[in-house]
Chains A and B, each alone.
Chain A
Amino acid sequence: MDLKLKIWRQANANSKGELKDYNISDVSEDSSFLEMMDQLNEELIEKGDEPVAFDHDCREGICGMCSMHINGEPHGPENETTTCQLHMRKFKDGDTIYVEPWRARAFPVMKDLVVNRDAMDRVIQAGGFVSVNTSGNTLDANAIPVPKANADEAFNAATCIGCGACVAACPNASAMLFVSAKVSQLALLPQGQVEAKDRVLNMVNQMDLEGFGNCSNVGACAEECPKGISLENIARMNREYLSASISSEK
């Protein structure tokens, strides 16, 4: 198939960017979107032009490194699909496709389609863990039974790949879905309960410091999430946050 591409090009964090036009032909329908980008880059290199920089790694939909706003949607038109798992058969011959980086204050563009997502790591560093050291003497793994429903729900929240699509989809660039997924996972398990209050307060505080916006219940985050993380997590985090704010001794 033949396609017209309009791709955001930006030399570095300090320069201005713009959409540039590219034509690409003989794209296989079996290519993934990133393989189509590979093909474009190959052509650019052969011509002596600079290839388009984009983040990617596992290409199996699990590492969360690939990003790209495709035709106005994070990870493109398919539901519950990362850009690397989006295939060109979902497009039509002759289509024009807009490709842009994630847009959010907390995710500055570094080059072309590459953005800086360190802010998400810092939110996890603020409390997204159980404070347990490595030890050969922890409790036996079966010492505390966990109801299957809670374990499954915690797992569902924990499948978040930290890609940032929720932030990119949100008109406020809020990270509530991302943060709430981690808060939910740990709120649903008995491990780490003693620090649950500090966890939610610290993570939300860090989220605000990073410049992520507020949640206004739009729901675009869950709609665009490639892993189907649900809005219930946000509700659970709000409950956790409220009760921690009232009862925390800090």
Chain B
Amino acid sequence: MKLDSKIPEGPLEKKWQNHKANIRLVNPANKRNIDVIVVGTGLAGASAAASLAEMGYNVKAFCFQDSPRRAHSIAAQGGINAAKNYQNDGDSVYRLFYDTIKGGDYRSREANVYRLAEVSANIIDQAVAQGVPFAREYGGNLDNRSFGGVQVSRTFYAKGQTGQQLLLGAYSALSRQIAKGKVKLYNRHEMMEVVVVDGKARGIIARNLVTGEIQRHGAHAVVLASGGYGNVFFLSTNAMGSNGSAAWKAHRKGALFANPCFTQIHPTCIPVSGEHQSKLTLMSESLRNDGRIWVPKDRKDAEAIRAGKLKPTDLPEEKRDYYLERRYPSFGNLVPRDVASRAAKERCDEGFGVNKTGEAVYLDFAAAIERYGKTEANIQGIDNPSPEKIRELGTKVVEAKYGNLFAMYEKIVDDNPYETPMMIYPAVHYTMGGLWVDYNLMTSVPGLFALGEANFSDHGANRLGASALMQGLADGYFVIPYTIGDYLADEIRTGEIDTNHEAFAAAENEVKGNIDKLMNNAGKKHSVDYYHKKLGRIMWDKCGMARNAQGLTEAIKEIQELRAEYWDNVKIPGKADEMNPELDKAMRVADFMELGELMCKDALEREESCGGHFREEYQTEEGEALRRDEDFAFVSAWKYSGDPSTTELVKEDLVFENVELKTRSYK
């Protein structure tokens, strides 16, 4: 099988323009007769559904939540990047493109990333026109801040709730189309299967989560905007319902799955505190602008802190190890996420961890509070301020910047982060891998598209902060509205899709069969969570921040055994034809049990370290990631053939014509 990424000819900065100019269109009268299904209502799904409906297509939008506004894009905190150069600091489309390619450790496509950077400015214009209340300066213009791994301020934000505001903007656009009847919304519905007729995606099988009814929905194209699969790990910063099932079902129906092992482990999350925990909470990357990360220099001090005999505030400066500043003096605490996460793990593995579990490091704001306090005293004209006054003034500044995050931390941990350093540890946050798509965002199944986190295309092996929102909205507002027309131009004579076709019946039977198998297995031993936690443990231990061939080989075997046990023994109370959240969960976890194996297989196959994928066998003498461009500058796209263990690897070589591949150095 040969993959055609359909990247347009011509120079990098002309590709998208030329493509748009030459792409086929569907005239307005024909659009009225064409149906499109959009699965997911996050940034990518809501923006796509709204935009396609505005253009005249008939859209059906599906979300498993009770309202489209609840999709997990809502939880994104820090901001959204755009190459506006409002700050006159030398930003440009090229610079955003370059930062994203480099940040992704040279494992993404040049043309896709360039297009992303190119449309980024339009996103901000569009959102402002919708009434998204971004932060502003006193002059009334939009404010910006900076994020990890870059040297400009290009991040637009709305306090720590940028994702919420952007999603509500897209949701309002979607709501407007629902009111017009151009979008039919199916909330509390979950996609169970993609239906492929004569090689083309022609619809889906959905399940009504209130009644359990299995439904057939036909369409001329199916757009998956169903998010990432971080919940394979059980504990992650994803929402409880976030799942990989839509993407996985598409994979099983022929869509290639690309770079599944590229997982982003975010360095600043609230650490695991015990067995009761259901999810992990992110503390925004913006905190690393002011927080200093450290552990004790002496193992004995770390032990004393863990035992509760020593307080971090009592440990003098010279006994602290600010390890990021020590190892990476030029970027310090603002190294990219993958680098910061690995460094924290290294210290904790060496026995310097600071909470009861030994898996936490400090994020300390004392220095920032003092620095801001002194500046503020100068501004207010206070001579010789007392240390208490400085603290008081500095605390106010820090509160204005990060107040909501500090409050959230205090609620969860019951510790005051203004007085004692925060404890943080890396946690699974985002998946760069996803369905393989070409330049038009179409998967290897004609008529089946994938947007946002559900596809693989833009972030390579590591995503930069504030780029997920940018990609979701770029795909939904500004890419798919053009590229879908190129495909649908051939569909104007198709007529309504017949859901009585045998392919629909077969897909429906498959869904019903799986539900029946899960509900009526012989074992009925343990709950879904019991098995999901086991899967998460295997993934975290062997396919987490550091991986090696032995661990991955073991993990594959363990997951295969666990999967068999799961199907035989999972216990689901209640019935299938009623609201049954345990059954909803069971279906998702069944897919995670297969996806997890593919992630391990991909990680095993990729014998190099790049971005979030760190193979212990491939590191420099100083313990840094060692990329192997000669052998691994390709996208690993996996083709399903009946079972994850027999999945076949198809390579798409990455061609770099505009940037030179370099070793990322943050030292």
Write 19 A-B pairs (CB below 8 A) sorted by A numbering. A12-B578, A27-B276, A42-B527, A57-B239, A59-B278, A60-B408, A61-B408, A126-B179, A134-B126, A134-B478, A139-B129, A140-B125, A141-B127, A147-B136, A147-B140, A148-B140, A151-B134, A154-B133, A158-B158
Inter-chain CA distance A12–B577, complex, in Å, is: 12
Taking CB atoms and an 8 Å cut-off, the chain B residues in 347-406 that contact chain A are none
Known: A35-B277, A135-B126. A59 touches B239 (CB 8 A): yes
17 additional A-B residue pairs with CB within 8 Å, beyond A34-B278, A121-B69, A158-B168? A38-B276, A49-B573, A53-B579, A58-B72, A58-B74, A59-B281, A60-B75, A60-B408, A62-B75, A62-B161, A63-B239, A64-B67, A125-B179, A129-B173, A134-B50, A135-B126, A158-B133
Q: Does B273 contact A (CB under 8 A)?
A: yes
Q: Which residues of A contact B138 (CB under 8 A)?
A: 148
Q: Does B199 contact A (CB under 8 A)?
A: no
Q: Which residues of A contact B119 (CB under 8 A)?
A: 136
- 7 tightest Cβ-Cβ pairs between the two chains A and B: A145-B140, A129-B172, A155-B133, A125-B179, A134-B51, A141-B128, A154-B133
Inter-chain CA distance A36–B277, complex, in Å, is: 10
Q: Which residues of A contact B130 (CB under 8 A)?
A: 129-130, 132, 191
Task: Specify which of A46, A138, A154, A155 is in contact with B126 (CB 8 Å cutoff).
Answer: A138
Complex contact A28–B69 (CB within 8 A): no
Complex contact A148–B136 (CB within 8 A): yes
Complex contact A151–B176 (CB within 8 A): no
Q: Mark A105-138, 1 if CB is under 8 A from B, else 0.
A: 0000011001011101100111011111111101
Q: Does A39 contact B (CB under 8 A)?
A: yes
Taking CB atoms and an 8 Å cut-off, the chain A residues in 38-59 that contact chain B are 38-39, 42, 44-46, 48-51, 53, 55-59
Q: Does A30 contact B (CB under 8 A)?
A: yes
Task: Specify which of A36, A57, A135, A154 is in contact with B72 (CB 8 Å cutoff).
Answer: A57
Tell me if A's interface is mostly helix, strand, loop or mixed.
Answer: loop
Q: Does A65 contact B (CB under 8 A)?
A: yes
Q: Does A192 contact B (CB under 8 A)?
A: yes
Chain-B contact segment, one of A81-89, A166-174, A238-246: A81-89
Complex contact A142–B66 (CB within 8 A): no
Q: Which residues of B contact A55 (CB under 8 A)?
A: 66
Q: Does A185 contact B (CB under 8 A)?
A: yes
Closest A residue to B68 by CB, please name it. Answer: A121
Q: Does B411 contact A (CB under 8 A)?
A: yes
Task: Specify which of B141, B164, B210 is in contact with A62 (CB 8 Å cutoff).
Answer: B164
Q: Which residues of B contact A57 (CB under 8 A)?
A: 65, 70, 72, 239-241
Q: Does A189 contact B (CB under 8 A)?
A: yes
Complex contact B133–A189 (CB within 8 A): yes
Q: Number of B residues contacting the other chain (C-beta, 8 Å)?
A: 81
User: How far apart are B60's CB and chain A's nearest CB, in angstroms?
Assistant: 16
Inter-chain CA distance A111–B612, complex, in Å, is: 42
Q: Mark B84-114, 1 if CB is under 8 A from A, else 0.
A: 1010000000000000000000000000000
Q: Does B142 contact A (CB under 8 A)?
A: yes
Taking CB atoms and an 8 Å cut-off, the chain B residues in 116-145 that contact chain A are 119, 122, 124-131, 133-142
Q: Does A159 contact B (CB under 8 A)?
A: yes
Complex contact A132–B175 (CB within 8 A): no
Inter-chain CA distance A79–B68, complex, in Å, is: 26
Inter-chain CA distance A48–B187, complex, in Å, is: 30
Q: Does A237 contact B (CB under 8 A)?
A: no
Closest A residue to B52 by CB, please name it. Answer: A134
Q: Which residues of A contact B135 (CB under 8 A)?
A: 151, 155
Complex contact B66–A39 (CB within 8 A): no
User: How far apart are B3's CB and chain A's nearest CB, in angstroms?
Assistant: 29
Task: Specify which of A28, A124, A148 is in contact with B172 (CB 8 Å cutoff).
Answer: A124
Inter-chain CA distance A134–B68, complex, in Å, is: 19
Complex contact A45–B84 (CB within 8 A): no
Inter-chain CA distance A53–B69, complex, in Å, is: 21
Inter-chain CA distance A200–B187, complex, in Å, is: 26
Complex contact A130–B131 (CB within 8 A): yes
- Which of B136, B161, B164 has the most chain A CB atoms closer than 10 A to its own CB? B136
Q: Which residues of A contact B158 (CB under 8 A)?
A: 155, 158
Q: Which residues of B contact A191 (CB under 8 A)?
A: 128-131
Inter-chain CA distance A60–B244, complex, in Å, is: 20
Closest B residue to A132 by CB, please name it. Answer: B129
Q: Which residues of B contact A133 (CB under 8 A)?
A: 51, 54
Complex contact A65–B165 (CB within 8 A): no
User: How far apart are A123's CB and chain B's nearest CB, in angstroms?
Assistant: 9
